[in-house]
Every structure is written in structure tokens, then in C-alpha cells.
Amino acid sequence: MPIKPDRELLNQLIELRKTLHRHPELSGKEAQTASRIKKHLSETHPDKLLERVGGHGLIAIYESGVEGPELLLRCDMDALPIQEANDFDHRSQNLGISHKCGHDGHTTILAGMATLLGRQRPKTGRVALLFQPDEETGRGAEKALHDEAMDALQPDMVFALHNLPEFEENAVVVREGPFASASRGMIINLLGKSSHAAHPEQGNSPLNMMRNLLISLPSLPNMKDTYRDFCLVTIIHARLGERAFGTNPAEAVVMATLRSYFDLDMDRLSFMAENLVKHLAAKHKIKASVEYTEVFPATINHPDAFEAVIKAAEMSHSSVVTIREPFRWSEDFGHFTALYPGALFGIGAGKNHPGLHNNDYDFNDNIIETGLNIFMNLIRLKNQFNV
């Protein structure tokens, strides 16, 4: 008889979720969160419990003892540097930090999976649960994948979920191929020559090059024949000089976020942006350097994993929404789907639910059960995976 989440377990998980919400931790600093999750996992008696995976990450492994496919389920644990606007009892107790992307809920769902697997092991193969830190910066998945702990795993398929406001509550949101965009932060440092503000002609301010960048960078995606699909450049920060009214500045910085549905387009877009910087630097006789941060690959859903999510949703009698276009936001789960067949799927948090990263957002506890059911059904289906 397939095991299902009961009301007692769901109530316990809601309390865990609210506890995690009260004590949010920023990317790379999830020590207290990991400690709470470790305690919960220990009570489920996994066959292996690996700690400090890619930082404060944890992996719990549940063996069947029978040869068969291996499944990896992953959640994210970090919070955001956002001051919470809510005043409910479980509001954040850490000033300027809060769970505004729902990672407290994602972690809770995977903790619930640990409880269910502790009660009933998979019939064949094994299931690994990865509690991943540092997702918001784009570093966590890559660090976890390069951790020696991952040598113990050889997943045949990988899955993760994300809650999605603006979709019907408990609807399962899927897409084959690109699901979430590639993105990266581009930092352009400019260096000219300073002079007295009374004699700007004696210096070489980066102002004109900076002005050209602010206009030209967002226009790069308009070169339609260059890219396979959607690309976007958003200027997110620009600074010229300092507050020194007697000085014609020598330094400037321009920061932009690059986005695309496909990694190849991201490579092309980055190449075009770097060439633009080189061209303008030569034209204006400015020294320029480019660096990148918060690099996220596109999350590409494998056809078989996509079909498995749909079957798992049907088994749960959940409505399915197949989106036409990928999401423009990014998720570092793309590092996993680049290595293993897998899928990231969404669960609707409600059409009128506050949006992700809004300061009044809170995870919808009503969708915990759906998350558990989809994951449990994926475990039941894993012997049918065609990869």
C-alpha cells in the first residue's frame, strides 16, 4: 500500500516550515538551518547522512537493498537580504533577512520526504535527498556537484520543485526543454584619467563610454539573427566617480544582468557584450575590464523527466499547466540538468499570492502535500524511466 502524508505529518511540517521562516539565513551561511534539518533527518534513520556538502548542504540516502534506478531530489535552503513586511507570528527574527522565495517551504517538503522514506523505503534502487545551500547566488549547485560527497551518487534522474505565485493553487507547472533562463551578472570597470573639474579637457572621463554602454548594452538582444531565442540585457547599476565637486572622474562601473533561454545564446550574448566593451574602450581610450558574477545556466527539462512529472501529477489528480515560454528568472538547478536527465517543475501558490522576492511574500503551506505527492509518485515511477 503506497504511503501518503497524513494530517499529523502535515501539521508537523507546517510547524517546521514556520520555524525555518523565523530563522532565515543568507546564502552560504545556512548553519542553523542545516542543524535543524540534520536533527530531522537523523530521526528518519537514513542509510547514509552526508554533511557539509558544498558548504552547509546535507544528503540523506535511503536504500531499498534491491538493484534499481537512483533518484536525486533536491531543495534549496537559503534566504534573501530583504526586510520582511509581514507581522504574523512566524515572521523573520533576523533583521533584513527573510524567506521571500519560499526556500523554507521547499526544504520542508524534502524534510517530509525524508519522513515518508524513513517509514517506507523505495522498492528498488535508492533515493537521495539533497538539501542545497547557496542557491540565490548561483554558486550552491556547482559547489555541491564538485563536492566529494557526490561521488557516492550516480543518479539516473534528478528533480526539484519551485513554488509559483500567480498560478492556480496546487497546479503542477511544467515545460519540456528550457524551463528557467540562463543569467549572469556582468560587471564592467572603466578607468580613464582624472583632472580638475575646472579643466576636464586635461583628463579623460569615462562618462562618454559609460553613456554609450547604457544605451548600447540593452540593444544587443535586438540583433535577432544572432540568437536562437529570447535574450535580455538589463542595466542594474551604474556609478561614475565620487562626490568630489572639484574632480573630473577617472573611474566608473556599469553592471548589467544578461538573460537567455539557451546557454548557447548566453555565450553569444556575452561575446557580443564583451566586444562592445572592447570597441568602446578603444574609441574612448579608456581601460576596461569585464568580470561575471551570479552565473546561472539554463535549466533544461529532459523529455522523459517532463513526461514523468506529468504522470506523477496525474497520479495525484493534480491539474497540469504546460507553459509556452520558459521563465525569465534563473535557478541553479540548471547545473544538475546539464549533467543528468531531470526536470524542475512548479507548484502553483495561488493566482493572487504575493510574488517571489516581494517583502510581503510567505510560502503557501497548502501546497506542501502536493509537493510530497508528486515526489512520492516520481519515486514510484522511477523503474519506468527511459534513460
> First vs last Cα of the chain: how many Å apart?
27
| Three-state SS letters, the chain | CCCCCCHHHHHHHHHHHHHHHHCCCCCCCCHHHHHHHHHHHHCCCCCEEEEEECCCEEEEEEECCCCCCEEEEEEECCCECCCCCCCCCCCCCCCCCECCCCHHHHHHHHHHHHHHHHHCCCCCCEEEEEEECCCCCCCHHHHHHCCHHHHHCCCCEEEEEEEEECCCCCCEEECCEEEECEEEEEEEEEECECEECCCHHHCECCHHHHHHHHHHHHHHHHCHHHCCCCEEEEEEEEEECCCCCCEECCEEEEEEEEEECCHHHHHHHHHHHHHHHHHHHHHHCCEEEEEEEEEECCEEECHHHHHHHHHHHHHCCCCEEECCCCECCCCCCHHHHCCCCEEEEEEEEECCCCCCCCCCCCCCHHHHHHHHHHHHHHHHHHHHCCC
Whole-number Å distance between alpha carbons of 235 and 257:
6
d(CA 152, CA 232): 39
CA distances from 230 to 71, 202, 299, 301, 303 (A): 32, 44, 14, 17, 21
Rounded Cα gap, residues 217 and 256, in angstroms? 8
For cell 537567455, the residue is 260
Strands, sheet with 70-76, edge to edge from the N-terminal-most edge strand: 48-53, 57-63, 126-132, 70-76, 157-165, 342-350, 172-174, 320-322
Q: pLDDT tens digits, the chain, 387 residues: what are they?
A: 456 788 999 999 999 999 999 999 999 999 999 999 999 999 999 999 999 999 999 999 999 999 999 999 999 999 999 999 999 999 999 999 999 999 999 999 999 999 999 999 999 999 999 999 999 999 999 999 999 999 989 999 999 999 999 999 999 999 999 999 999 999 999 999 999 999 999 999 999 999 999 999 999 999 888 999 999 999 999 999 999 999 999 999 999 999 999 999 999 999 999 999 999 999 999 999 999 999 999 999 999 999 999 999 999 999 999 999 999 999 999 999 999 999 999 999 999 999 999 999 999 999 999 999 999 999 999 876 654
Tens-digit pLDDT profile for residues 240-298: 999 999 999 999 999 999 999 999 999 999 999 999 999 999 999 999 999 999 999 99
User: CA distances (Å), 176 to each of 23, 41, 333, 366, 374, in order?
Assistant: 36, 32, 15, 26, 17
**CA–CA separation, 183 vs 194, rounded Å?**
34
- Count CA within 13 A, CB hemisphere, residue 212: 17
CB 360 within 8 A of CB 104: no
The 10 Å Cβ neighbour count of residue 387 is 13
Residues forming a β-bridge with 73: 129, 159
Q: Where does residue 294 rank: exposed (0-12), middle (13-18), buried (19+ CB within 10 A)?
A: middle
What domains are there in the chain, each with its CATH number? 7-178+298-384 (3.40.630.10), 182-296 (3.30.70.360)
